[in-house]
Chains A and B, each alone.
Chain A
Amino acid sequence: MVAVMTGFARTLRAAGVPADHERTQNFLRALSHLDAARPDDAYWAGRFTLCASADDLPRYDRVFRAYFGGLRAGRAKPAAITVVRHTAALAGDRGESGDGPVPAATASAVEVLRNRDVARMTGAELAEVHRLLALLRTGREQRRSRRFQPSHRGRLDSRATIREALRRGGETARLRYRTHRTRPRRVVLLVDVSGSMTPYADTLLRLGHALVRSEPRATEVFSTGTRLTRLTAELRHRDPATAMNAVSRAIPDWSGGTRLGEELRRFLSLNDAGGAVVVIASDGWERGDVSLLGAEMARLSRTAHRVIWVNPHKGQKGYQPLTAGMRVALPYVDDFVAGHSLAAFEELARLLGGANA
């Protein structure tokens, strides 16, 4: 019996359910209180102990059916996921400069590069921008933490006052005070990776990498398009190239369409944007229902501390926010900034540090 059940747990693990050793032990313990011969009891005991999230349930059900339904699954492999690799369609490689070594950049060359549109760069220039981007460190707005530190003003620190009185043999002469510590405010970056954003998505995700590296505990990065994907874990790698490789494997919908409204709705229902600074990097080229995008932006603006919209096209001369998606979203945006050049990213970093636009 134990062998059958551990085999089941192993099959689950192969299918991507986090049924590790500790969870398997809990499963066996749970079964010992139930009637293990009853399929229902085995089903429930496994579901309570081997699954960690509602997302695991469909996989659990599938494996359970396969394993106990007579059709032993054996070594069930996780359903094959077709990964569309990012074919870096970054414009600019026009053949004349190739990917040769970057000449030692002089101060003025860097200055020129800082203001250039990344979509119009050669591969070598882009690589240099990415190198500089990886060095970008951003400050954060501060929020009040729940922890305290001693201070000369603020609230009475009763514990320290009593301790002090005891040190003085019971004489309550001096009152101690404390104030809340501060913590960096959370930043959530949503990068639109749909087709129209292709020239910028890669650079924006590298910006995400710099943000995660600056404040690993106070940053979340997601890609949006048609399938909201959390990329924070992938972006924690120190090395930008490794991180970007992991990211391109994780994103299922590179260069697809844009359904920002739906994605935002999904984001808001699954994540807590409360108190966070939410940065949306998109050209607002909404293919879905624009009114839904408006409603979800309204909800976002009620939940988040601050909403920043980064639009790569805003850096172009004579840009007007004419796309329907951009127009409905703008009333709910606190800061509307460009996102096409290194200078624009530095400006964004300044905003995240609490500066005003």
Chain B
Amino acid sequence: MESPGRLAELLDERAYLADDGLATAAFLALRMGRPLLLEGEAGVGKTELARTLAAVLGAPLIRLQCYEGLDASQALYDWDFARQLLHLKAAEAGGITDAARLEGEVYDRRFLIARPLLKAIETQPAVLLIDEVDRADVEFEAILLEVLSDFAISVPELGTIRAERPPVVVLTSNRTREVHDALKRRCLYHWLEHPSFEREVAILRRRLPACSESLAEQVAKATARLRETDLIKPPGIAETLDWTEALLTLGARELDPDVAAATLGALLKHREDHEAVLGNGFFGDLRR
């Protein structure tokens, strides 16, 4: 891959339209071997970039979904207790009591369950997606920082497992809280915006070939206006795609108020937002 432009073409081949900034960010992440931290509102295509990047590189996507309470045994590795115990029982039955030997056997790599971070370090090549890092506890960021600095995980009973070739890492955050500065420093930081009108039309056409130019334009115009409205959760590109698909499924050629209202659930996910949009007759003046 010689330039950001070339990467954009490759992403485009897999129906992901990246603008100049995002293509450059991804290009640098690959070239510099640094994690890419994508921040932005939900549904602007952060997760999808990781998925498409994996397809472009022909590498498996390894995903770590973050949540409150996520801990090392879920993110790094865990020992397979049941099999360890079975092994000990079998040894006991066989009359083996040499503690040193048993210890070596029980803490063998085959009894270690690799969770996403370890799996990513052991897989070459790999794309590691650390999704919604802002949802994990602040303490968990310390674990992440360690892994992303050295691309090595140390297992006390086994030693250090190091990546021969570090995985490509994409972190996403919806910015429900600030990610710790030390972690940000490790990463290339990119703030993703909602796509421009032209880009959104292009994305809709590219992802949903059945969608006509005029429907795509009407949908993009309506969503762009909704994003300006004071909603609890403005629709992202993911929601726009869902909505358009719903419209197409109902055989709509044009965005008229009735079909728009009937399919609104694909676009807006809060009751208050539905009421706000339907209440002020948002779709009433669509045709103008």
Contact = CB atoms under 8 A, between A and B. Distances in A.
Interface stretch (B86-94, B213-221, B261-269): B86-94
Interface residues of B, number: 47
A169 B79 CA distance: 19
Given A40-B20, A48-B189, A52-B181, A29 B32 contact: yes
Interface in B24-47: 24-25, 27-28, 31-32, 34, 39
A34 interface: yes
Q: Is the interface of B mostly helix, strand, loop or mixed?
A: helix
B84 A162 contact: yes
A8 to B, nearest CB: 17
A158 B106 contact: no
Contacts of A34: 4, 24, 28
Interface in A141-174: 146-147, 156, 158-159, 161-162, 165-167, 169-172
Given A52-B181, A272-B177, A44 B191 contact: no
A54 B190 contact: no
Q: Is the interface of A mostly helix, strand, loop or mixed?
A: helix
B199 interface: no
B137 A146 contact: yes
Contact of B188 (A49, A166, A295): A49
B253 interface: no
B31 A33 contact: yes
Contact of B99 (A33, A41, A147, A170): A170
Interface string A292-320: 00010001000000000000000000000
B24 A172 contact: no
Contacts of A45: 24, 28
A48 B25 contact: yes
A92 interface: no
B188 A30 contact: yes
Nearest to B187: A48
B250 to A, nearest CB: 31
A33 B32 contact: yes
Interface in A23-79: 23, 26, 29-30, 33-34, 40-41, 44-45, 47-49, 51-54, 57
Contact of A159 (B34, B71, B79, B134): B79
Interface string B146-163: 000000000000000000
B58 interface: no
Nearest to B272: A295
Interface string A115-145: 0000000000000000000000000000000
Contacts of A44: 20-21, 24-25, 28
A170 B97 contact: yes
B229 interface: no
Contacts of A47: 21, 189-190
Contact of B85 (A26, A172, A270): A172
Contacts of A331: none
B258 to A, nearest CB: 27
A53 B178 contact: yes
A354 interface: no
B85 A162 contact: yes
Given A30-B188, A34-B24, A171 B92 contact: yes
18 contacts: A22-B185, A23-B185, A34-B28, A44-B28, A47-B189, A49-B189, A51-B189, A52-B184, A54-B191, A147-B71, A158-B81, A158-B85, A159-B81, A161-B85, A166-B106, A167-B99, A170-B97, A270-B176
Interface of A: 18, 22-23, 26, 29-30, 33-34, 40-41, 44-45, 47-49, 51-54, 57, 146-147, 156, 158-159, 161-162, 165-167, 169-172, 270-272, 274-275, 295, 299
Given A53-B184, A165-B88, A299-B232, 4 more contacts: A40-B20, A48-B28, A165-B85, A270-B177
